[in-house]
Amino acid sequence: MGKKYFTLSFDDGLEQDKRVLALMKKYGLKGTFNLNSGMFGLQGEVKGIGTFSFQDCEAGVQHRWPFSYVPHNRIPKDEICEVYAGMEIATHGFLHEALGKVSESEMRSSVRKDKENLEQIAGTTIVGHAYASGSTSSAAEHYLKEQGYLYARAVFPSGNFEFPENPLNFRPSSSVIMKNSMKLAKDFIAAEPTDRDLLLFFWGHAYEMDYGKGAASWDSLERLFATISGHDDIVYCTNREAFLHI
């Protein structure tokens, strides 16, 4: 009889992660936070339309209609260990590089520096990666495997509960701000694994909750966490723990 695994993944290492972490701890959830070690402490905003973000801006940029702007302030290096205690830390590109769009030497440098820095800070081996902008390549996947990575997450949703055939380039079930996230959570709760394990994998950026629109809101995130939590037949785990057994 298979098991059901639930995990979360948040990108960029932002001040809003602290609020996400408080909610995760309240509901007994675990997950992974993907950091850019070359960008600790940087202050800024994210510009978007509705809840779709598409441009990083410097702090204090002039706001223009019809765009939305929310804070995108990264946690300083000296707070990382305390903030993420009890959770997994993974790489996300030293300077948030899109690994599939840079040269192979830049890709290798980004992964290597990020991994070395985070391992020094966390005092543990880093085995996970989240592709910035979902961008990857066969060379990036090969290099991650070479460096001992267990998994690497893209961004486009699968909409299902299957463990991926290729853990070094897999699609999450959905994003926490997508309209189908609550339905997926309820379907997952009702699902009965047979001889295969099931995985519900949600990802997001903590700043997205600041938009306060639809599923991209703090109230919606808490409802999602409250719904998925507290089920005896679900294993609540970090990304690393979810992938270790396969």
Q: What is the pLDDT of residue 74?
A: 98
Choose among 55, 61, 10: nearest CA to 36. 10
The closest of 133, 205, 203, 135 to 169, measured between CA atoms, is 135
CB neighbours (10 Å) of residue 35?
33
- What does the alpha-carbon distance between residue 59 and residue 15 come to, in Å, rounded to a whole number? 14
Alpha-carbon distance of 67 to 43, in angstroms, equals 19
pLDDT at 46 over 90: yes
Give mean pLDDT, residues 218-232. Answer: 98
Residue 178 belongs to a domain with what CATH number?
A: 3.20.20.370
When comparing pLDDT for 110 and 194, which is higher? 110
CA 93 to chain centre: 13
Query: Does the structure show a pLDDT above 80 at 245?
Result: no
**Quick one: pLDDT at residue 194?**
86
Q: How confident is the model at residue 193 (pLDDT cuts 50, 70, 90)?
A: confident
**Residues 126-169: pLDDT tens digits?**
999 999 999 999 999 999 999 999 999 999 999 999 999 999 99
Confidence of residue 54 (pLDDT cuts 50, 70, 90): confident
pLDDT of residue 60: 85
Q: How many CB atoms lie within 10 A of CB 152?
A: 25
Q: How confident is the model at residue 220 (pLDDT cuts 50, 70, 90)?
A: very high
**Span 191-202, average pLDDT:** 93
Q: Which of these, 89, 84, 177, 97, lies nearest to 131 by C-alpha position?
A: 97
Question: Which residue type occupies 109?
Answer: S
**Tens of pLDDT, residues 130-140:** 999 999 999 99
Residue 43: pLDDT band (50, 70, 90) is: very high
What CA–CA distance (Å, rounded) separates 15 from 22? 12
- The mean pLDDT value of the chain amounts to 96
What string of DSSP letters covers 78-138? GGHHHHTTTSEEEE--TT---TTTS-HHHHHHHHHHHHHHHHHHHSS---EEE-GGG---H
* pTM score of the predicted model: 0.97
The domain total for the chain is: 1
Domain carrying residue 66: 4-244
Instruction: Find tokens 């030293």 and name the residue.
Output: 94
Flag whether pLDDT at 26 surpasses 90: yes
Confidence of residue 59 (pLDDT cuts 50, 70, 90): confident
